Every structure is written in C-alpha cells, then in structure tokens.
Amino acid sequence: MDIDILFQDSRFAVLNKPAGLPVHPGPRGGPSMEDGFAQLSRRKDGPWLAHRLDADTAGCLVVALRKAALLEAQAAFTSGLARKTYWAVVLGRPAANSGVVDAPLLKHSTAAGGWRMVHDSAGQAAVSDWRVLGSADGIAWLEVLPRTGRTHQVRAHCAELGCPVLGDPVYGAPGPMLHLLARAIALPLTPPLAATAPPPPHMRAALLACGWDGVSR
C-alpha cells in the first residue's frame, strides 16, 4: 500500500488519508488505512490509530507508533488540546464571514435504515469555529476549527449553517465525492506534532474557483 506520510518521528506518523478509504476494515472487510501499518513500524505491538476520520474525508490521520505515544495523543484529543483544521467546500455562502456553531449533536436513525447526527439539546456538546476563506458562484470555501470531536461534527455543523458540504448525501448536498479535508493537525506534546495535508485532486477545482492560490494557506 502506497502511503503518503506527512510527518513521522519515533512516536507518530501522520498519514495523508485518501477520500473514500476507511481508516479500518468494516464488517464486510475491504481495504483500509490499517493495511499499510506494517510499513510504519516493525514493533509487534502497534501501530494504533490515535483518532478517526470518516471514510469520505481526506487528510491528516494521526497514527501512534508506540503505546505511550498513543496514550499521550488520546489525552490531547480528549482534553480538547488537539488543534484540528478542516477545509470544506460548501453549497451556498453563510450570511456572515465568520462565527461559531454551538449545536449539541445526537445520533438519529433514519427511515431508510441509516443514521445521521442531528442538533438536539439531549446530545453531546459540539462547538465549531468557522470563517469564509473564499467563494464563487453558488459555493464557498470554509475553514472550520472544531473545538470538540463529535462524529460527523464538521458535516453536521456546516448543514446547521445552511451550507452543507458539497458531495454530502447525508446532510443535503449529494455529489460524487465529499469536499472535506482534514487540512491540519497539531498536538501540543513534547516535542510537538504538526502536519498539513494538501487538498485532494477532487477538491482542487472548487478551491481554485473560490480563490485558493494552489500553494499557500
């Protein structure tokens, strides 16, 4: 398995996860990011996923190469010290240029037999900061900084803004591929961990239309 490694030291590797590839095998098997773990370490124990990304989300995925590192990373995620940055191309444009979505999320079964996260006061606290980085005809490029780590949080909160992520069949903007990138990750460890992922090919045209220069930011 050809793995694009964004960062690696003796403790961690940050992988550039392709859109559409699960992080671990599902009930019916199939390829996953874990297929490439043997290339990262020869240790008998590990590597381990330090967190999760949706199968359809591209970008930074942290893998711990040692058990002590795994515990450190999990503590950073649990305590909210991990700084996660997402880029999303969404349908429409928010009324403001920046803001905060504070919308608790609860898993809800759908009539079709699936599920989605819904805004519900009975759900888990979920808070995301966001700002508009650019826009084009009918779409906008958002930077989203989730303070919490709920399932589908960025996707559900974009929908809460009235601007679902392009390619998201669950939250209202169906298309061939989800336009969501786990752009950067930073963990305040000693030494610190930091990595940035390039936009995947399927997002580049929309980002360029919204004003991305193809290199920076």
Nearest-5° angle of CA 26, CA 113, CA 59? Answer: 45
Give me the amino acid identity at 189. Answer: L
Whether 89 and 166 have beta carbons less than 8 Å apart is answered as: yes
The dihedral sign for the CA sequence 39, 40, 42, 45: negative
Distance CA 148, CA 153 (A): 8
The reply to whether omega before 191 is within 30° of 0 (cis) is yes
Catalytic residue among 54, 56, 102, 213: 54
Active site residue 2: no
**What amino acid is encoded at 127 in this protein?**
V
18's tokens: 């392709």
For 36, the token pair is 């490439």
Q: Catalogue the active-site residues.
A: 54
